[in-house]
Amino acid sequence: MAKGRVSREDWTMAALGALARGGVAAVAVDVLARELAVSRGSFYWHFANREALLVAALETWEQKATTDVIDTLRGVPDPQVRARALFAEALGSEEIAGLEPALATQTSHPAVAAVVARVTATRLDYLTEVFTDLGLDPASARHRALAAYATYLGWLELRRVAPDTAPESHLDHPDARAALDHLTAMVLAPPPGP
Protein backbone atom coordinates (compact mmCIF):
# COMPACT_ATOMS: atom_id res chain seq x y z
CA MET A 1 0.00 0.00 0.00
CA ALA A 2 1.43 3.36 -1.00
CA LYS A 3 2.33 5.72 1.80
CA GLY A 4 -0.41 8.31 2.34
CA ARG A 5 -2.98 6.40 0.31
CA VAL A 6 -4.71 4.71 3.22
CA SER A 7 -8.41 5.44 3.57
CA ARG A 8 -10.51 5.85 6.69
CA GLU A 9 -11.97 2.41 5.95
CA ASP A 10 -8.47 0.89 5.76
CA TRP A 11 -7.81 2.20 9.27
CA THR A 12 -11.17 0.97 10.62
CA MET A 13 -10.72 -2.49 9.10
CA ALA A 14 -7.19 -2.70 10.52
CA ALA A 15 -8.61 -1.70 13.91
CA LEU A 16 -11.25 -4.43 13.68
CA GLY A 17 -8.54 -6.96 12.88
CA ALA A 18 -6.59 -5.77 15.90
CA LEU A 19 -9.70 -6.07 18.08
CA ALA A 20 -10.13 -9.67 16.92
CA ARG A 21 -6.50 -10.49 17.66
CA GLY A 22 -6.05 -8.78 21.00
CA GLY A 23 -9.02 -6.72 22.11
CA VAL A 24 -9.15 -2.98 22.73
CA ALA A 25 -5.53 -2.86 23.91
CA ALA A 26 -4.39 -4.11 20.47
CA VAL A 27 -5.85 -1.05 18.74
CA ALA A 28 -2.56 0.84 18.87
CA VAL A 29 -2.02 3.59 16.31
CA ASP A 30 1.72 2.95 15.85
CA VAL A 31 1.21 -0.78 15.34
CA LEU A 32 -1.63 -0.22 12.88
CA ALA A 33 0.41 2.39 10.99
CA ARG A 34 3.22 -0.15 10.56
CA GLU A 35 0.71 -2.79 9.49
CA LEU A 36 -0.73 -0.39 6.90
CA ALA A 37 2.77 0.78 5.87
CA VAL A 38 2.01 4.45 6.50
CA SER A 39 3.16 7.15 8.86
CA ARG A 40 1.33 7.99 12.06
CA GLY A 41 0.34 11.28 10.39
CA SER A 42 -2.00 9.33 8.08
CA PHE A 43 -4.00 8.37 11.14
CA TYR A 44 -4.53 12.00 12.16
CA TRP A 45 -5.79 12.84 8.69
CA HIS A 46 -8.81 10.60 9.41
CA PHE A 47 -9.21 10.54 13.22
CA ALA A 48 -8.82 12.94 16.12
CA ASN A 49 -7.57 10.21 18.47
CA ARG A 50 -7.46 6.47 19.14
CA GLU A 51 -10.92 6.50 20.73
CA ALA A 52 -12.40 8.00 17.54
CA LEU A 53 -10.79 5.17 15.55
CA LEU A 54 -12.20 2.59 17.94
CA VAL A 55 -15.72 4.05 17.71
CA ALA A 56 -15.50 4.26 13.89
CA ALA A 57 -14.32 0.65 13.71
CA LEU A 58 -17.18 -0.54 15.93
CA GLU A 59 -19.71 1.43 13.88
CA THR A 60 -18.28 -0.12 10.69
CA TRP A 61 -18.74 -3.58 12.21
CA GLU A 62 -22.31 -2.70 13.22
CA GLN A 63 -23.11 -1.44 9.72
CA LYS A 64 -21.56 -4.33 7.79
CA ALA A 65 -22.41 -7.22 10.08
CA THR A 66 -25.91 -6.16 11.13
CA THR A 67 -27.55 -3.23 9.36
CA ASP A 68 -26.47 -4.19 5.83
CA VAL A 69 -27.35 -7.87 6.34
CA ILE A 70 -30.82 -7.05 7.67
CA ASP A 71 -31.47 -4.49 4.92
CA THR A 72 -30.57 -7.05 2.26
CA LEU A 73 -32.71 -9.79 3.80
CA ARG A 74 -35.78 -7.59 4.22
CA GLY A 75 -36.08 -7.75 0.42
CA VAL A 76 -36.58 -11.55 0.50
CA PRO A 77 -40.38 -12.10 0.50
CA ASP A 78 -40.53 -15.79 1.49
CA PRO A 79 -39.99 -16.08 5.28
CA GLN A 80 -38.46 -19.58 5.06
CA VAL A 81 -36.00 -18.50 2.36
CA ARG A 82 -35.22 -15.33 4.34
CA ALA A 83 -34.54 -17.31 7.52
CA ARG A 84 -32.28 -19.81 5.75
CA ALA A 85 -30.41 -16.97 4.02
CA LEU A 86 -29.91 -15.25 7.37
CA PHE A 87 -28.38 -18.33 8.98
CA ALA A 88 -26.28 -19.11 5.92
CA GLU A 89 -24.87 -15.58 6.02
CA ALA A 90 -24.40 -15.44 9.79
CA LEU A 91 -22.89 -18.88 10.26
CA GLY A 92 -21.25 -19.32 6.88
CA SER A 93 -19.13 -16.20 6.67
CA GLU A 94 -16.79 -14.32 8.91
CA GLU A 95 -15.05 -11.32 7.36
CA ILE A 96 -12.69 -10.97 10.32
CA ALA A 97 -12.19 -14.30 12.05
CA GLY A 98 -12.82 -14.21 15.79
CA LEU A 99 -14.11 -10.63 15.90
CA GLU A 100 -17.52 -11.30 17.43
CA PRO A 101 -16.25 -13.51 20.28
CA ALA A 102 -13.44 -11.03 20.92
CA LEU A 103 -15.88 -8.13 21.17
CA ALA A 104 -17.97 -10.07 23.67
CA THR A 105 -14.94 -10.20 25.97
CA GLN A 106 -14.30 -6.45 25.71
CA THR A 107 -17.62 -5.05 26.96
CA SER A 108 -15.93 -3.48 29.98
CA HIS A 109 -14.88 -0.74 27.54
CA PRO A 110 -17.79 1.74 27.25
CA ALA A 111 -17.62 2.15 23.46
CA VAL A 112 -17.58 -1.61 22.92
CA ALA A 113 -20.36 -2.15 25.46
CA ALA A 114 -22.62 0.42 23.77
CA VAL A 115 -22.21 -0.99 20.27
CA VAL A 116 -22.41 -4.65 21.33
CA ALA A 117 -25.61 -3.90 23.27
CA ARG A 118 -27.12 -2.06 20.29
CA VAL A 119 -26.13 -4.81 17.84
CA THR A 120 -27.47 -7.51 20.14
CA ALA A 121 -30.80 -5.72 20.55
CA THR A 122 -31.12 -5.14 16.79
CA ARG A 123 -30.27 -8.74 15.98
CA LEU A 124 -32.66 -10.16 18.59
CA ASP A 125 -35.46 -7.90 17.35
CA TYR A 126 -34.83 -9.00 13.76
CA LEU A 127 -34.65 -12.68 14.71
CA THR A 128 -37.94 -12.30 16.59
CA GLU A 129 -39.43 -10.78 13.45
CA VAL A 130 -38.09 -13.68 11.36
CA PHE A 131 -39.61 -16.28 13.68
CA THR A 132 -42.89 -14.37 13.87
CA ASP A 133 -43.01 -14.36 10.06
CA LEU A 134 -42.49 -18.14 10.22
CA GLY A 135 -45.70 -18.41 12.25
CA LEU A 136 -44.61 -18.40 15.88
CA ASP A 137 -46.54 -16.35 18.39
CA PRO A 138 -44.63 -13.30 19.73
CA ALA A 139 -43.45 -14.95 22.96
CA SER A 140 -42.33 -18.14 21.22
CA ALA A 141 -40.66 -16.10 18.48
CA ARG A 142 -38.69 -14.16 21.11
CA HIS A 143 -37.64 -17.37 22.87
CA ARG A 144 -36.55 -18.92 19.57
CA ALA A 145 -34.65 -15.72 18.72
CA LEU A 146 -32.74 -15.96 22.01
CA ALA A 147 -31.91 -19.62 21.37
CA ALA A 148 -30.88 -18.93 17.77
CA TYR A 149 -28.63 -16.03 18.77
CA ALA A 150 -27.02 -18.07 21.54
CA THR A 151 -26.42 -20.82 18.96
CA TYR A 152 -24.82 -18.31 16.61
CA LEU A 153 -22.48 -16.95 19.29
CA GLY A 154 -21.62 -20.47 20.43
CA TRP A 155 -20.81 -21.57 16.87
CA LEU A 156 -18.41 -18.65 16.41
CA GLU A 157 -16.79 -19.31 19.77
CA LEU A 158 -16.42 -23.02 18.94
CA ARG A 159 -14.80 -22.05 15.64
CA ARG A 160 -12.36 -19.82 17.54
CA VAL A 161 -11.42 -21.96 20.53
CA ALA A 162 -11.73 -25.54 19.24
CA PRO A 163 -10.55 -25.62 15.62
CA ASP A 164 -9.05 -29.10 16.02
CA THR A 165 -11.83 -30.56 18.15
CA ALA A 166 -14.68 -29.17 16.02
CA PRO A 167 -13.13 -28.71 12.56
CA GLU A 168 -16.58 -28.83 10.90
CA SER A 169 -17.21 -25.36 12.34
CA HIS A 170 -14.59 -23.95 9.93
CA LEU A 171 -15.77 -22.96 6.48
CA ASP A 172 -12.93 -24.72 4.69
CA HIS A 173 -13.69 -28.13 6.22
CA PRO A 174 -15.29 -30.67 3.82
CA ASP A 175 -18.21 -31.26 6.24
CA ALA A 176 -18.79 -27.58 7.06
CA ARG A 177 -21.78 -27.18 4.74
CA ALA A 178 -23.48 -30.32 6.09
CA ALA A 179 -22.88 -29.20 9.69
CA LEU A 180 -24.28 -25.73 8.98
CA ASP A 181 -27.30 -27.18 7.17
CA HIS A 182 -28.00 -29.45 10.16
CA LEU A 183 -27.67 -26.58 12.62
CA THR A 184 -29.95 -24.36 10.53
CA ALA A 185 -32.57 -27.12 10.27
CA MET A 186 -32.52 -27.52 14.05
CA VAL A 187 -32.91 -23.78 14.68
CA LEU A 188 -35.72 -23.46 12.12
CA ALA A 189 -37.56 -26.66 13.06
CA PRO A 190 -41.23 -26.23 13.96
CA PRO A 191 -41.82 -26.01 17.70
CA PRO A 192 -42.67 -29.28 19.43
CA GLY A 193 -46.33 -30.07 19.89
CA PRO A 194 -48.11 -29.73 23.23
Give a yes or no: residue 129 inside a domain.
yes
Give a yes or no: residue 79 inside a domain.
yes
Give a yes or no: residue 155 inside a domain.
yes
Q: What CATH number should be reported for the domain holding residue 132?
A: 1.10.357
Q: Are 73 and 86 in contact (CB under 8 A)?
A: yes
What letter does residue 66 receive in the DSSP assignment?
I
pLDDT more than 70, % of the chain: 97
What pLDDT digit, counting tens, does each position of 46-80 carry?
999 999 999 999 999 999 999 999 999 999 999 99
> What φ, ψ does residue 47 adopt, rounded to 5°?
-135, 145
Other residues' Cβ atoms within 10 Å of the Cβ of residue 46: 16
Which are the contacts of 171, defined by CB distance < 8 A and separation ≥ 6? 92, 93, 94
Q: How many Å is the Cα radius of gyration of the chain?
A: 19
What pLDDT digit, counting tens, does each position of 168-177 carry?
888 888 998 8
Query: What is each CA distance from 149 to 85, 102, 115, 127, 171, in whole angstroms?
Result: 15, 16, 16, 8, 19
Q: What's the mean pLDDT in 117-132?
A: 98
Q: Is 138 exposed, middle or buried (0-12, 13-18, 19+ CB in 10 A)?
A: exposed
Give a yes or no: residue 133 inside a domain.
yes
Other residues' Cβ atoms within 10 Å of the Cβ of residue 143: 15
Q: CA-CA distance, 94 to 89, in Å (whole number)?
A: 9
Give a yes or no: residue 105 inside a domain.
yes
Give a yes or no: residue 3 inside a domain.
no
Instruction: Provide the pLDDT for residue 194.
Output: 62
Three-class SS state of 189 = coil
Number of domains forming the structure of the chain = 1
Work out the mean pLDDT of the chain and round it to a whole number.
92
- The answer on pLDDT for 3 being more than 60 is no
- The answer on pLDDT for 41 being more than 70 is yes
Supply the range of the domain harboring residue 103: 55-188
Instruction: Tell me which amino acid residue 28 is.
Output: A
Give a yes or no: residue 22 inside a domain.
no
Give a yes or no: residue 174 inside a domain.
yes
